[in-house]
Structure 1
Amino acid sequence: MNNVALPFESYGVSHKGCVRQVNEDSYLIEPRSGLWVVADGMGGHDAGEVASASIVEHLSTIGIPESAPDLRARFVDRLRLAHSDIREISDSRGATMGSTVAALLAMDGKFACLWLGDSRVYLVRDGAISQVSHDHTEVQELLDRGAITAEEAQTWPRRNVITRAIGVSDDIDVDFRQGDLLPGDVFILGTDGLTAHVSDDEIEAAVVSTTPQAACEDLLAKVLERGGTDNVTIVLVRIRGEADGAASGALAGGR
């Protein structure tokens, strides 16, 4: 039995910010497939947007999986195809290009978050926010080793150096976390253009008691008011009821 159709409400926004001339971010909202994705392209004008768009294009072909393992297998398969595609384009251009990716997969009352790079996934549950993903960055590795403090990390000169991405290395190394879905859960997927300007506490406050659309627009407005030094993409997913597979008319939107 296909249990993909969960009672979700989701919304996404993406903006080039106040400084960049081109938006190299992409996102995907496919509630019938149980899939939500943000991707932050790297490589400069044209290259970055091509990389993130390739990820979204390949993942958009997932269709309707038969089970949660099938959904994850399809996701990894499409991600590998995107990786190969980006590598081929990079070779033809003689320049490195790539993209971060952060994704939420949901089916059969379970979720899995998968990511490479510094685009993040947060979960707000019972009024408290937690970061589900773990940044693949040079500064995070230094923090994990205790080589620098959290305060030093805020001003570290190479704090945006990414250690994993799609299209950059020979193969992909995807991290993941999984768990049970609960009614009222809110997942926030965001590129680093969001977290550069908005704190975790502010994200929590924005999503607790409003719709995904209103929360996305509020968070985007905060980023732009504070200078928007990078592209910013935000996708919110709210669990509206019991994850029982009922065809409850999942809502999705974005701009």
Structure 2
Amino acid sequence: MQEIASSLWRSAARTDTGKVRARNEDAFLALPEQGLWVVADGMGGHQNGALASRLIVEYLAEPSEGNLQQRLVELRKRLHGLNRRLGQELTVTAERPDTLIGSTVVALLVDGDRAACVWAGDSRCYLWRGSRLYQLSRDHSLRQQLIDEQQYSPEQAARHPSAHALTRAIGASEELQLDILELDVLPGDAFLLCSDGLYQGLSSDALGAALNLPSAHFALQRLFEQALDGPARDNLSAVVIRR
């Protein structure tokens, strides 16, 4: 577990292979001194998935200057650049047309009392505020698309054989679309960035109860204890951020 504090923000971050997978294709970044946190969940087989998630972390770890808007522009530029790079490498090196090098990404940028959440894929950003849990990100998955466009119930959509298929990710298509949500930060706010391996095994009540604990470290510890008590079929990664 990685726990870091800055003058304003405290965060704790951790990743785990889980109980079934042989390798971990997730990656995370926790830079509270820069007001930046990231979770990436790679796909495309062990080597390709791990490479894609690691490259996201490396691309975004380089410091960027300016206010929130300027840093947001730079972060988007880096992700679009990586999307092109993965697409080009895929074209040059792939021996099979179905080879994929890609990754989800969810990032949180903060500057003073403003924050921005940026994502592609089904890794999520949650906000714990005033004893309520809010899911800030909206999954880019077939399951969510069936709910939004076909009026499926969440239960019906979850039963679809391709429910977990992603509709967006870094490296998945030539044109990358990122979603961005900006918001004011209030005293007592806590954020959670996590891969689907973590949230799939936990209820909203369990997520909220963990984020209600007094420190990022304790919250993260509770989340992983509960997730690893379950099947933990996928890699799991999370970052908890508190003021």
State the TM-score, normalized to the length of structure 2: 0.92
> Which AA in structure 1 matches 2:61?
S
Cα deviation for residue 57 of structure 1 reads: 0.4
Cα deviation for residue 220 of structure 1 reads: 1.1
Report the equivalent of 2:83: 83
Report the equivalent of 2:152: 148
Report the equivalent of 2:207: 203
CA RMSD of aligned residues (A): 1.3
Secondary structure at 1:84 match in 2: helix
Identity level (%): 36
Cα deviation for residue 69 of structure 1 reads: 1.2
Secondary structure at 2:46 match in 1: coil
Secondary structure at 1:81 match in 2: helix
Report the equivalent of 1:136: 140
Report the equivalent of 1:105: 109
Deviations 1:33-64 (A, max 9, x none): 21100000000021000000010000001x15
Report the equivalent of 2:174: 170
Report the equivalent of 1:230: 234
Report the equivalent of 2:74: 74
Measured in 2, the distance between the counterparts of 1:93 and 1:160 equals: 27
Give the counterpart of 1:214 among 211, 215, 218.
218
Gaps of 5+ in 2: 1-5
Report the equivalent of 1:59: 60
Deviations 1:151-204 (A, max 9, x none): 212332211100000011112100011110111100000000011101111100
Measured in 1, the distance between the counterparts of 2:212 and 2:102 equals: 33
- Contact 1:67 1:108 (C-alpha < 8 Å) held by counterparts: no
- Contact 1:32 1:64 (C-alpha < 8 Å) held by counterparts: no
Cα deviation for residue 28 of structure 1 reads: 0.5
Report the equivalent of 2:3: none
Deviations 1:73-128 (A, max 9, x none): 11112212221232233223312210000011100310110100000000000010
Cα deviation for residue 6 of structure 1 reads: 6.0
Report the equivalent of 2:11: 10
Give the number of the structure with larger relative contact order, counting CA–CA contacts within 8 Å between residues 6 or more apart.
1
Cα deviation for residue 137 of structure 1 reads: 0.5
Report the equivalent of 2:33: 32
Gaps of 5+ in 1: 240-255
